[in-house]
Structure 1
Amino acid sequence: MEALKGRDLLSLADLNAEEIQGLLHLATQLKSGEVKLRCNKVLGLLFYKASTRTRVSFSVAMYQLGGQVIDLNPNVTQVSRGEPLADTARVLDRYLDIMAIRTFDQRDLEAFASYAKIPVINALSDLEHPCQVLADLLTVQECFGSLAGLTLTYLGDGNNMANSLMLGCALMGMNVRIATPPEYEPDISILEQARAIAAGRSEVMVTNDAKAAVSGAQVLYTDVWASMGQEDSADARIPIFQPYQVNDQLLKGAAKNAIVLHCLPAHRDEEITDAVIEGSQSRVWDQAENRMHAQKALLVSLLGAD
C-alpha cells in the first residue's frame, strides 16, 4: 500500500477500488495475525463530537502498531478559545505524524488538511464517515467472500453514513439502495458522484419505498434517525421514520442469507428492534470490532511501517 503513504483520507472517494481492496486485504491479514507490522508514530485525535468506537478503535490500533496517541480535546486546548484553524494545523503538523479529526463541517477538515503536511483522516463529519465504511466493507467481505454484485440496502436518514455507503458500494461494484422518508434523502452531489463512479456497472438507487429497497438484498444497514446535533428533532422524527425500522417483518423481504449492520450507537426498538440486533443475522459486533482492524490498516498505509 505504498501508494497511500502521506495521503489524506477526507472522503471515501479519495480512494479507488484497488486501494480499498488493498486496505481490506491488509486489515484481514492484521486481524488474523498473518502479518505483524510496527509503526512507531504519533497519532493526534481532535474530536469536536462525542465518540466511543472511533476514538477507542483508533487509539487501540495505534497502540498495537507500537505508536502513541494524543487526545486533543477541544475543550482543553486553545481551539476552544478561538485559535484559528490554520494556526492550529500548522503547529500540530510540526508535532504529530498523523491526525484524525471528527467535526461538523467537511470544509474544516479540508482547510486543516490544506495547512498540514501530515496525513489527515476524516473520523466523521456531517457529510461523510469513510472509516466506518471501510469496516463495513470488511465485514461484508468476511461474510460473503467478495463484494461485487452484492446489494446493500440502507434504511433511515440520508446522513453521512448514507453518503459514504453510496460511494463505497459504487467503488466496489456493489448495488446500493438508500431508503428514506421524503425530504430526508442523501446529499444530491454525493448521489451524483456515486452514480458517476458506478457508471452503470452497479445500481445506486434512492427511494422512499422501504419494502422495495430490501427486496433480495444481502445486507440491511441502518443508523440512528437523528444524528449528533439533531437531538432536538429526535422525537418528531419517530413517526416519520417508523416505516423504515429494521424489524423481523422487513428482514423477511431480504435475501435468506442477509446480514444486518448498524454503525452504533443504536436506539433499540426505534431504527432497529432488539430482536434483530441480537438475532442470528446481526453482524453488528463483528462490524464494530472491524473498525479497529480497518483503521490499523489505514494508519500503517498512510504512515508506512517501520
Structure 2
Amino acid sequence: MINSRSFRFLTGIRSFSSSSSVMSSPRHLLSISDLSPAELERVVDRAGEYRELIKSKGLSSTAENLPLLGHTVALMFSKRSTRTRVSSEVAVNYLGGHPMFLGKDDIQLGVNESLYDTGRVISSMTSCMVARVGPHSDIAGLAAASSVPVINALCDSYHPLQAIADMLTIKIAFKSVKGLKFAWVGDANNVLNDSTHACAKLGINVSIATPEMYPVDEAHFNKVKASAAISGSTVEISHDPKTAVRDADVIVTDTWVSMGQESEKQARLAQFKGFKVTSEMASEASDEWKFMHCLPRKQEEVSDEVFYSDRSLVFDEAENRLYAMLAALEAFVAKKGVIM
C-alpha cells in the first residue's frame, strides 16, 4: 500500500522525470558570450545579494531558499582545483541540492566513451553538469549532448564563473563600475577572455599587455570590441605593461604557466620578463588602484608588496567565487536560464 507521503514522493519523481525529458534545449553557461549585458549585470547583482545574505545571517531553510532541494548536480573535474571545487560543492549544498563529484579517476571524458555518450548518460540522471575540463571542445561536446544545463567551471578558452566573481569584486570595491579602467598584465588565457568580455559588456575600459609570443585571440576579441562599442567602453591591446596600467583602476594578472604547460615553464618565464606586477609598475596607475589575481599565485607574477597589500583584493575575489556559483546555479538550473 502507498501512503500519502509515498504518493507525493513518487509523484514528484514522475513530474521531475517528465520535465527533464521535454527540456530538450536547456540553456548553458559556457562563456560570458552567453549572457547579454543586462543578464550579466543581474547575475553579478544576484551574486552580491547572496554575499550580503550569507555574511549577515545565512540562508534560511525555506523552499524559496532551497531551489535545488531533491536535485543532484554532477561536478565533473578533469583538472584538479581548490576554489572551483569548494565553491561548487558549498553552493549546491546551500541551495539544498546534492553535489556529486566526479574526478578524473572516476570518469575520463572522451576516453572510455564519447563526450556525447557521457553527456547523454549523466544528464539523464542529474539536474546540472558543472564541468572543469581541458579543451573548449570538451565542454561544448557535453552541452551538445546534455538534456540539462551545463555550467563551464573552466576550459582552456573561457572561465565565466571567474569573470562573474571578478565583476562582483570590482563592484564592491568601486560601487560604480562604468568608466573604470581594467588593466591586464600577463598571459592571453581563459580568464583574460571572459573577464575582459564581462568588462566590455558592463562599460569598463579594458587595456591589455601580453608578451609578443602570446597574443590575444583575435576572433574572440572581435566579440569583446563589439560589446565595448555597444557599452561605450574601450579596448586597447599592446605588449607594454606600463602602457596597460597607466591610469588603471584595477590591475590584474594570472598564472604564466597553467596546468599542462609545465614543460614550457623556463621558456615562458623568459618571455614574461618585465611583466611582474610591482609597486613600481603600479605607480603608473590611478591613485585608488586595486590588484586582483584569481589564484594560485606564484612570486614571479606579482611581488609580495603588492599581493599582500591593502590594495589587494585577491582573497575577496576568491571568496566571491562562491557567490558567483550560487547566482549561476540559481539562474541556469533553478530558473532554467530565465534571468530577470
- CA deviation after TM superposition for structure 1 residue 93, in Å: 1.0
Match of 1:16 among 20, 36, 40: 36
Q: Do the aligned partners of residues 251 and 76 (structure 1) sit closer, same or farther apart at CA in structure 2, a change above 3 Å counting?
A: same
**Contiguous gaps of at least 5 residues in structure 2:** 1-24, 60-64, 336-340
- CA deviation after TM superposition for structure 1 residue 74, in Å: 2.7
- CA deviation after TM superposition for structure 1 residue 166, in Å: 2.2
Q: Do the aligned partners of residues 78 and 188 (structure 1) sit closer, same or farther apart at CA in structure 2, a change above 3 Å counting?
A: closer
Secondary structure at the aligned position of 1:199 is classed as helix
**TM-score, normalising length from structure 2?**
0.85
Match of 2:164 among 119, 134, 153: 134
Determine what percentage of the aligned residue pairs are the same residue: 37
Partner Cα distance (2:48, 2:291) in 1: 20
Which structure ranks higher in relative contact order (CA pairs < 8 Å, sequence separation ≥ 6)? 1
Partner Cα distance (2:226, 2:174) in 1: 26
2:77 maps to what in 1? 47
- CA deviation after TM superposition for structure 1 residue 184, in Å: 0.7
- CA deviation after TM superposition for structure 1 residue 6, in Å: 4.4
**TM-score, normalising length from structure 1?**
0.94
Larger radius of gyration: 2
Q: CA RMSD in A?
A: 1.6
Q: Is residue 2:268 matched to residue 1:248?
A: no
Aligned partners of 2:26 and 2:149 also within 8 Å: yes
Partner Cα distance (2:321, 2:108) in 1: 30
Moved over 6 A (4+): none
Aligned partners of 1:177 and 1:213 also within 8 Å: yes
Match of 2:86 among 43, 56, 59: 56
Q: Do the aligned partners of residues 79 and 18 (structure 1) sit closer, same or farther apart at CA in structure 2, a change above 3 Å counting?
A: closer
Partner Cα distance (1:166, 1:31) in 2: 23
Q: Do the aligned partners of residues 253 and 304 (structure 1) sit closer, same or farther apart at CA in structure 2, a change above 3 Å counting?
A: same
Secondary structure at the aligned position of 2:316 is classed as helix
Q: Give runs of aligned pairs for residues 68-147 of structure 1, distance below 5 A.
A: 68-77=98-107, 79=109, 82-147=112-177
Aligned partners of 2:79 and 2:104 also within 8 Å: no
Partner Cα distance (1:79, 1:132) in 2: 23
**Contiguous gaps of at least 5 residues in structure 1:** none
Q: Is residue 2:9 matched to residue 1:28?
A: no
Aligned residues between the structures: 300
Partner Cα distance (1:80, 1:8) in 2: 20
Partner Cα distance (1:110, 1:244) in 2: 33
What do the CA deviations read for 1:211-251 (whole angstroms, capped 9, x no partner)?
Answer: 11101100000001111111111122223212111111011
Partner Cα distance (1:204, 1:49) in 2: 31
Match of 1:259 among 290, 293, 301: 290
